[in-house]
Amino acid sequence: MHDISANVENRIQTLDDASFGPMVLETGGRIAVEFMSYGCGYCRAIEPLLQQVAESIEKDETIYRVNIAADPELADQYGIGGTPTFVIFLNGEEMGRTEGPSPNLQSVMDAVTGPFLS
C-alpha cells in the first residue's frame, strides 16, 4: 500500500477488488469510497483535506479509497470517468457521487457527507 501523503496520518484504508465487496457492499452503514490514482495530482492535492474529513465525520461513517490503476475493473464497474470520484453508499447501495470536488475542506466534506443529508 502506498502512503499518498507522507505529512498526514493515513486514516483511510485502501480497498482492492477482493476487499471491496465485504467492506462496502456487505457492511451496513454510511460509506464513502474515493476512486483515485496515485498518479493524479488533483487526488494528492485533496488528500490532506480528505484526512481532515476522516477525522471529523460521524462514527457511523467510513471513508475508503480504491486505486483505479491497481483495480481498473472496479472503476469500470462503477463507471468512473475521472479521479477523484467519491461514490457514497448506504447499507451497500449507492446513494450518490461527486467527481472532482474543489480542493477546499467544505467541498470535500460535502462530497463525502452530502448524499446522507438529502
Catalytic (active-site) positions: 40, 43
In the chain, the amino acid numbered 32 is A
What whole-number distance in Å separates Cα of residue 5 and Cα of residue 60? 25
End-to-end CA distance of the chain: 34
- The residue type found at 3 is D
Contact, 99 vs 46, CB < 8 A? no
Do the Cβ atoms of 83 and 36 come closer than 8 Å?
yes
* 89 grid coordinates: 453508499
